[in-house]
Structure 1
Amino acid sequence: MYDGGKRHKNGSHHLIRANLHRMRASGVLPSWYADLQHKLVPSSQPRAYRIVCIGATAAAFIMGIFIGLMIPLYLLPPTAVAASPLLSERPLNLSSSTVPPTLDRPASFDTVSFVQQPQQQQQQQPLLPMPSSSTPVNSSLISDGVYWSDQVERALPRGYDSGSAAEWRRYVRQGRVVKMEEGCGRMQNRLVTFDNGSTSCCRYRQNVDQIQGEIFGFYLGRYILGLPNLTPTTLSRAKPQSRQWSSVKAQVSLAQWVTEDKAVVMTKFVKNLLPAFIPSFLRPSDRRLHPPDVQDSGSDLDVSELAQWSDLVVFDYLTANMDRMINNMYNLQWNPTMMDAPAHNLAKDQGSGLLLFLDNESGLLHGYRLLDKYEHYHKSILNAVCVFRRSTADAIKRLYKQKNVGELLRSAFKQSDPEFVDILPTLPEKNVKILNQRIARVHEQIVRCESMYKSTA
């Protein structure tokens, strides 16, 4: 009875549709009315047929998603999958606490953008064997318990002195800029060529803190501590209308240096630089570079480089620079091979072996603001070192006794770049206070090391 009623109902629907079609064709009904009636009449398609269509559509959708995921995972080469920004990892750039982590390929260890990357230098440097604390101290390497000997000092690269800095400063003030191109790292930095062919890395920053960190870091390292590892650096102003910059007026505009009278940092560009690696003594978590750990350089141990690293540890602790060894240590949480990578913002002169302490803009200001987060890294490195250059230790002892580092920095500013005294603020007093505290901490480490080893020398 039910099936017959259903067949009767379907037959009625066909009859109604046929009648509506004939009436519309004869003009009795408007076409829009007939169409409306046609839509209101239920479809004669069986319900089972519609269910099958819906199920087939859903199955095709699910199959498409499955195929789209499986093809990249199983058919494409691993390098293509690794190139995905969601799957790759790079070390965090600690120079800015507000910038999200940048990503880096685990096999690519960039140190400074303009450092040469020859094939043999891209491979990881093997760890040197860690000497035992019972190893006897070589008297030809260590003097008075904790100082590098005169023999080591004579083997050190000469580096840059105050005369080199003064000569560079004079030329930057007088030389004409004939070429300006991208380079030297960040987007608004420019590689500048002067009319005598010499080149400079010109650093422009919107943030005056970074200009202060770079120039006052140079004054501290070069003039106060006497370190030869800082490339000659001075201040300048890029004025497109001046004779000095007129040849590159268009390039200055393209660089988007919005304020022409703003101070920029001009650092002498050095060619033939190679990546510099962290010494084996300072790579493991139980890092330690004490007198008993220093071995004879008859093997592959480069004692002259170790002596430069002892200066770097002191300098980076004073300035709270996060962009070198701290960068590698922090990024261990993402890349367990980071300590085998080149140190960030550190390079080695291919000819002389001089280590260059580059890009010090995060020190003295930005680094001091982040001490709560990174001080345990700084302390870990400083506490690991108990061998020093005598001249560096003497400078620390003198600064600790006289507590005049702020006065010395202001004097260096006035003597080196007097025309910028009214343009660039000097180092704030609160930062001078922190610097004095860090000088006291380095002094404490030197005295502690002397008490441990000087009596047994």
Structure 2
Amino acid sequence: MFRKGRKVTLGSLVIFLALLVVHKQQGVRTQDQWVFKPFRQLKETVIYKDASPMNISHNVTTMQLMYQRRDKLPGFKELLRLVQNRKPQVTLQINGTSIVEDGLFWSHDVEEEIFADDSDRDIDGEISFMQRSVIAGITDQYVGGKGSNYLVYLKDGTKLFARHRTKCLAIAEIATFHMSRLLGMNIVPTSILTLANPTVPQWNDPKVRLRLRSVGLHGDDHVTLSLWMNNFSENVSFPHILLRGDKKIHIQNAMLREMTSQEVAYLAQWTDLVLLDFITLHTDRVTRALRTLDGAIKDPWLLNVKVKNLIRKGRKLWLIDNEATATFSSKITPLTRDLLYHLRLLDSTCVFRRSTVERMLWLRYYGNASASLMTVILDAEPFIKADDIRNCKNDLPFVLDARIDIIFRHIVSCLHEAQVTFVNN
């Protein structure tokens, strides 16, 4: 910039310094570039404010939703070492069975109890099967949604839950499923997106084509298909440990020692639910139930209130109707109390599945959470394009990373509390 013999003015020096600063800021994310070019147009240091706890009256000053580099997160290396610990210390036992390890994670025995019923589940195989199978019929049975939900069946008798939704709500449903896949949670039924178009191979059956018109589905209508759960129970309520005593899941809670192995397995799945709903900012499941529970002071029977969009089959929990997620769709606007409820639930949870935390670390700090999610969605869903996702939520990379950062700050605080407990004991 400065040539020999040319006088350096104050203005040129200011310009040089400004360019130097800009260049340095642009180099911050050299290892984490967004997959899609339109995302790069967003400002690097933007603070996500349109529905964040920063704008509400609550003690969340340490949870500011600002993008942070991996080496700036307090306690990151400490948490990483603990997650990768292959010789965990048993912190809590019940009748000789390990329940909590390293003061922070559900044990291997608990995880085996969770996945005993579907340890051989092949999600990729289920996706491929649903996409290539021809729908043989649409039943007359409406499943909620004022006629927008249907049961369809395949030639082999397999039932699928079909939901007609707008494009962004349908994408939010699918994105939640793939987010749960990336986190290894296995608590969302396999789901795909299709178009109710007779030219799509899935709808090739002549009888089905006629039925599409009779139920009001047209060629460009977006329909999500999810595996239907037979013999499930909708009578799923909040864990009692969150409603009594100190209302917190941690190793010092005496109620943990009184639980059976199946109750602990249910609780471990509940902690995954809390994290996934916090990441996606779901507004029509636990937050709705908490609104009712807040009235339980006057009506104690409400303590057994049913949690909407949550079913139980055997020992497994399944999250259904996952479209109402503000993280994946700008069409969903959470209320202030919804944000508070999510923070309240997160604060109530201080034991997690080790594999869930490990995958979150990998997604957010070794890879790129939004880029990984988008790649998985686009690879699996032929009817979803990058522009569709951008139009539904153009600031998704920042929102997703910010919410995961909040979770990590909370987990680190739980880790410090657990270490203090070890010292005191």
TM-score (norm 1): 0.64
User: Retained in 1: the 8 A contact 2:378–2:386?
Assistant: no
Distance 1:148 1:366, change over 3 A: same
Q: Is 2:179 the partner of 1:220?
A: yes
The number of residue pairs the alignment matches comes to: 317
Helix, strand or coil: the match of 1:235? strand
User: Retained in 2: the 8 A contact 1:403–1:436?
Assistant: no
Q: Is 2:96 the partner of 1:143?
A: no
Q: Is 2:335 the partner of 1:377?
A: no
Cα distance, 1:166 vs. partner?
A: 2.0
* 2:276 corresponding residue in structure 1: 315
Helix, strand or coil: the match of 1:260? coil
Distance 1:445 1:311, change over 3 A: same
Distance in 1 separating the partners of 2:359 and 2:175? 17
Deviation per CA, 1:232-281: give whole Å up to 9, x if none: 11111222355642222232112212x41333111000101012221001
* 1:404 corresponding residue in structure 2: 368
Share of identical aligned residues, percent? Answer: 23
* 1:448 corresponding residue in structure 2: 413
Q: Structure 1 regions of 5+ residues with no counterpart?
A: 1-135
* 2:150 corresponding residue in structure 1: 190
Cα distance, 1:339 vs. partner?
A: 3.5
User: Retained in 2: the 8 A contact 1:276–1:346?
Assistant: yes
User: Retained in 2: the 8 A contact 1:213–1:362?
Assistant: yes
Q: Which amino acid is the alignment partner of residue 340 of structure 2? A: H
User: Retained in 2: the 8 A contact 1:322–1:367?
Assistant: no
Distance 1:297 1:247, change over 3 A: farther
Distance in 1 separating the partners of 2:276 and 2:401? 13
Distance in 1 separating the partners of 2:171 and 2:120? 20
Match of 1:260 among 210, 219, 225: 219
Q: Is 2:390 the partner of 1:428?
A: no
* 2:136 corresponding residue in structure 1: 178
TM-score (norm 2): 0.68
Distance 1:410 1:359, change over 3 A: same
User: Retained in 1: the 8 A contact 2:285–2:308?
Assistant: yes
Q: Which amino acid is the alignment partner of residue 326 of structure 1? A: T
Match of 1:361 among 319, 323, 342: 323
Q: Structure 2 regions of 5+ residues with no counterpart?
A: 1-90
User: Retained in 1: the 8 A contact 2:283–2:334?
Assistant: no
Q: Which amino acid is the alignment partner of residue 302 of structure 2? A: M
Cα distance, 1:367 vs. partner?
A: 8.4
Q: Which moved more, 1:430-439 or 1:381-390?
A: 430-439
Cα distance, 1:301 vs. partner?
A: 6.9
User: Retained in 2: the 8 A contact 1:263–1:423?
Assistant: no
Q: Which amino acid is the alignment partner of residue 156 of structure 2? A: N
Distance 1:243 1:370, change over 3 A: closer
Distance in 2 separating the partners of 1:383 and 1:434? 20
Q: Which amino acid is the alignment partner of residue 247 of structure 1? A: K
Cα distance, 1:156 vs. partner?
A: 1.5
User: Retained in 2: the 8 A contact 1:233–1:267?
Assistant: yes
User: Retained in 2: the 8 A contact 1:283–1:340?
Assistant: no
Helix, strand or coil: the match of 1:145? coil
Distance in 2 separating the partners of 1:243 and 1:396? 36
Distance in 2 separating the partners of 1:160 and 1:211? 26
Distance in 1 separating the partners of 2:411 and 2:101? 14
Cα distance, 1:189 vs. partner?
A: 1.2
User: Retained in 2: the 8 A contact 1:332–1:338?
Assistant: yes
Cα distance, 1:300 vs. partner?
A: 8.5
Distance 1:437 1:252, change over 3 A: same
Distance in 2 separating the partners of 1:151 and 1:262? 45
User: Retained in 1: the 8 A contact 2:195–2:383?
Assistant: no
Distance in 2 separating the partners of 1:285 and 1:297? 13
Distance in 2 separating the partners of 1:241 and 1:285? 58
Alignment of 1:259-278 (within 5 A): 259-274=218-233, 275-278=235-238
Cα distance, 1:226 vs. partner?
A: 0.8
Structure index of larger Rg: 1
Q: Is 2:284 the partner of 1:326?
A: no
Cα distance, 1:402 vs. partner?
A: 4.0
Alignment of 1:117-132 (within 5 A): none
User: Retained in 2: the 8 A contact 1:148–1:307?
Assistant: yes
Cα distance, 1:424 vs. partner?
A: 4.1
Distance in 2 separating the partners of 1:196 and 1:215? 24
Distance 1:371 1:397, change over 3 A: farther
Distance in 2 separating the partners of 1:143 and 1:326? 29
Cα distance, 1:174 vs. partner?
A: 2.4
Deviation per CA, 1:70-96: give whole Å up to 9, x if none: xxxxxxxxxxxxxxxxxxxxxxxxxxx
Match of 1:154 among 112, 116, 122: 112
Alignment of 1:89-108 (within 5 A): none
User: Retained in 2: the 8 A contact 1:332–1:339?
Assistant: yes
Q: Is 2:250 the partner of 1:290?
A: yes
Helix, strand or coil: the match of 2:184? coil
Deviation per CA, 1:62-119: give whole Å up to 9, x if none: xxxxxxxxxxxxxxxxxxxxxxxxxxxxxxxxxxxxxxxxxxxxxxxxxxxxxxxxxx
Distance in 2 separating the partners of 1:252 and 1:280? 45
User: Retained in 1: the 8 A contact 2:248–2:348?
Assistant: yes
Distance 1:138 1:321, change over 3 A: same
Distance 1:244 1:394, change over 3 A: closer
Alignment of 1:230-245 (within 5 A): 230-240=188-198, 244-245=202-203
Cα distance, 1:154 vs. partner?
A: 1.8
Q: Which amino acid is the alignment partner of residue 138 of structure 1? A: Q
Q: Is 2:265 the partner of 1:304?
A: yes
* 2:52 corresponding residue in structure 1: none
